[in-house]
């Protein structure tokens, strides 16, 4: 150990073009983009009506809520945490939205987003102040959050008739659906947050070594709180958008298993679960990859069962590649 650290790691050998394909680090870095590209090329060649504007738009609209949730999840995972409550948060936002839409669009949106912030604040408090493990801390609201949503909505599906909200779900700007546009803007914003802001770098530092960050005077508690609140707000936003697209508030099923999809997107995108690094673009690509994979299989008349098994295989492969990298 001491010996091994004495000399800096030897510089990588001059790369021959094919040599790096054998380097696991390359896969962790670019594997997810390559996989997305391969899928697109495959579909362009072998799938009819895949590379059409209509189909691509559908795929993007479907993946948008997952991307939004996964962005928040990536931040949380960057602090060596996890947030299981995102699906319940979506349901909570969906349940609250119709209750306050009567007061107008803005109050409805604000209350729904606020609910996400509150969920995040509770999670953040449990994790940062009480010091619970993130899995347990967020498990509580995973279990209870949807219950609260159902209690508030009286367990019922509510039709949404507010035209502004509906426009949010179906409208488009310059041919790009608003939902996709929002997800895209958020992805850029989160990428900027992570790379260029003090807060973003502090997130990564806290995830990389919490006690060192604390001794360096970083506001660890505030950073953790902020991250969980952001994740909650993003999940709530995803809930609002999904509700708008459904034209109905359905707290009993909206966002079920969303935590798993989001975690999958983050992990497949190359963000390690043990914190200290956040790959925003990778996360977006991870969500896209899973979406395209499913769509491809469906278009080729392969059943859902195959899609799930294929997803499982991709997750395993992604983590396996990450593991290679870490053990070096």
Partner 1 sequence: MNETTPAPVAAVPAPKKTPAPAGGGAPREEPAAETPLKQRLAELVQRQGVLAVLLAVILVASFVYPTFATLDNARGVTVQASFLAVVALGMTLVIITGGIDLSVGSVFALGGVLAAWASQWGFFTALLVPLVVCGAIGLLNGFLIARAGMAPFIVTLATLLAARGLLLALTDEGATTYLVPKDSVFAELGQGSVLGFGYPLLIALVLFGAGGVLLQRTSFGQSLFAVGGSSDAAGLMGLPVARTKILVYTLSGLLAGLAGALNAARLSSGVTIVGVGMELDAISAVVIGGTLLIGGAGSVSGTLWGVLLLAVIQNLINQIGSLNSSYQSVVSGGFLIVVVVAQRYLARSRRTT
Partner 2 sequence: MAPPEAAAQAPAESTPPAAGTVLEARAVSKRFPGVVALDNVSFSLRAGETHALVGENGAGKSTLIKVLTGVYRPDEGEVRMTGQQVRFARPFEAQQAGISTIYQEVNLVPLMSVARNIFLGREPKNRFGLIDFGRMHRETTELLDGFGVHVDPRRPLHTLGIGTQQMVALARAVSVNARVVVMDEPTSSLEPREVETLFRVIAGLRGQGIAVIYVSHRMDELYRICDRVTVLRDGRHIHTGDLAELNRMRLVSMMLGRDMAEVRRSGVTGFAAGGHDAERTPVLTASGLTRRHQLQDVSLSLYGGEVLGLGGLLGSGRSETAKALAGALSLDGGELTVGGRRLRRLTSAGAIRAGISLLPEDRKAEGIIPGLSVRENIVLAAMPRLSRAGVVSRRKQDRIVEVFMKRLRIKAAGPEQKVGELSGGNQQKVLLARWLCLEPKVLLLDEPTRGIDVGAKAEVQGLIDELAGEGLAVLLISSDIEELIEGADRIVVLRGGAVAGELSGDDVGESQLLEVLADHAPVPEGKAPAAQEDPR
Report if residue 131 touches partner 1, rule: CB under 8 A: yes
Specify whether the CB–CB gap between 95 and 152 falls below 8 A. Answer: yes
Report if residue 3 touches partner 2, rule: CB under 8 A: yes
Tell me which residue of 283, 303, 242, 282 sits closest to 61, measured CA to CA.
Answer: 242
CB of 73 to partner 1, least distance (A): 13
Complex with partner 1: residue 86 or 182, whichever CB lies closer: 86
Specify whether the CB–CB gap between 25 and 12 falls below 8 A. Answer: no
Site string for partner 2, 261-280 (x = CB under 8 A): ---------------xx---
Instruction: Quote the CA–CA distance of 322 and 273 in Å, as a whole number.
Output: 10
Of residues 142 through 161, those in contact with partner 1 by CB under 8 A are 142-151, 154-155
- List all residues 6 or more positions away from 187 whose beta carbon is below 8 Å from its beta carbon: 67, 71, 280, 281, 284
Specify whether the CB–CB gap between 80 and 227 falls below 8 A. Answer: no
State the number of binding residues for partner 2 (CB under 8 A). 32
Q: Which of 43, 123, 202, 243 binds partner 2 (CB under 8 A)?
A: 202
Report if residue 298 touches partner 1, rule: CB under 8 A: no
Of residues 201 through 240, those in contact with partner 1 by CB under 8 A are none
Select the binding partner of residue 159 from partner 1, partner 2, none (C-beta < 5 to 8 A, by kind).
none
Q: Which of 76, 205, 230, 293 binds partner 2 (CB under 8 A)?
A: 205
Instruction: Quote the CA–CA distance of 283 and 274 in Å, as a whole number.
Output: 16
Site string for partner 1, 97-126 (x = CB under 8 A): -----------------------------x
| Chain mean position to CA 31 | 18
CB of 16 to partner 2, least distance (A): 20
Q: Which of 117, 246, 260, 281 binds partner 1 (CB under 8 A)?
A: 260
Complex with partner 2: residue 170 or 197, whichever CB lies closer: 197
Q: Which of 162, 172, 209, 252 binds partner 2 (CB under 8 A)?
A: 209
Instruction: Quote the CA–CA distance of 141 and 150 in Å, as a whole number.
Output: 13
For the residues of 237-254, what is the DSSP string, one character each? Answer: HHHHHHHHHHTEE-TTTT
Structural tokens at position 127: 């994790």
Specify whether the CB–CB gap between 135 and 127 falls below 8 A. Answer: no
Instruction: Quote the CA–CA distance of 46 and 42 in Å, as a whole number.
Output: 6
Report if residue 4 touches partner 2, rule: CB under 8 A: yes
For the residues of 80-115, what is the DSSP string, one character each? Answer: T---TTHHHHHHHHHHHHHHHGGG-HHHHHHHHHHH
CB of 317 to partner 2, least distance (A): 22
Report if residue 133 touches partner 2, rule: CB under 8 A: no
Structural tokens at position 243: 């509700």
Helix axes 220-246, 53-78, angle to 10 degrees: 160
Q: Residue 172: in which H helix or E strand, if any?
A: strand 172-173
Part of the chain binding partner 2 (CB under 8 A), chosen from 146-154, 161-169, 212-220, 286-294: 212-220
Positions that interact with partner 2 (CB under 8 A):
1-11, 196-199, 201-202, 204-205, 208-209, 211-219, 276-277
Positions that interact with partner 1 (CB under 8 A):
82, 84, 126, 130-133, 135-137, 139-151, 154-155, 256-257, 260, 263-264, 267, 273-274, 303-309, 311-313, 315-316, 319-320, 323, 327
């Amino acid at each position: 150990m001491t010996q091994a650290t004495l000399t800096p790691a030897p510089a990588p050998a001059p790369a021959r073009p094919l040599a790096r394909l054998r380097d696991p680090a390359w896969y962790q870095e670019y594997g997810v983009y390559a996989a997305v590209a391969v899928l697109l090329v495959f579909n362009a060649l072998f799938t009819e009506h895949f590379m059409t504007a209509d189909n691509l738009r559908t795929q993007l609209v479907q993946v948008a809520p997952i991307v939004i949730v996964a962005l928040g999840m990536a931040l949380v995972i960057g602090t060596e945490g996890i947030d299981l409550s995102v699906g319940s948060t979506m349901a909570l936002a969906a349940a609250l939205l119709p209750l306050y839409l009567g007061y107008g669009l803005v109050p409805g949106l604000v209350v729904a987003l606020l609910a996400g912030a509150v969920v995040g604040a509770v999670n953040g408090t449990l994790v940062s102040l009480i010091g619970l493990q993130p899995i347990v801390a967020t498990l509580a609201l995973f279990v209870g959050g949807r219950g609260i949503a159902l209690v508030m909505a009286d367990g019922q599906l509510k039709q949404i008739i507010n035209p502004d909200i509906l426009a949010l779900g179906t409208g488009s700007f310059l041919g790009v659906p608003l939902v996709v546009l929002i997800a895209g803007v958020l992805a850029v914003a989160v990428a900027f947050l992570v790379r260029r802001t003090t807060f973003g770098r502090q997130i990564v530092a806290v995830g990389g070594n919490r006690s060192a960050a604390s001794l360096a005077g970083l506001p660890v508690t505030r950073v953790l709180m902020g991250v969980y609140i952001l994740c909650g707000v993003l999940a709530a936003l995803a809930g609002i958008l999904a509700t708008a697209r459904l034209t109905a508030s359905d707290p009993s099923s909206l966002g079920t298993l969303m935590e798993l999809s989001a975690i999958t997107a983050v992990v497949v995108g190359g963000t390690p679960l043990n914190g200290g690094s956040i790959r925003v673009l990778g996360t977006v690509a991870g969500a896209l990859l899973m979406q395209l994979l499913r769509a491809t299989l469906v278009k080729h008349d392969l059943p859902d069962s195959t899609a799930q098994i294929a997803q499982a295989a991709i997750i395993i492969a992604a983590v396996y590649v990450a593991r290679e990298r870490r053990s070096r």
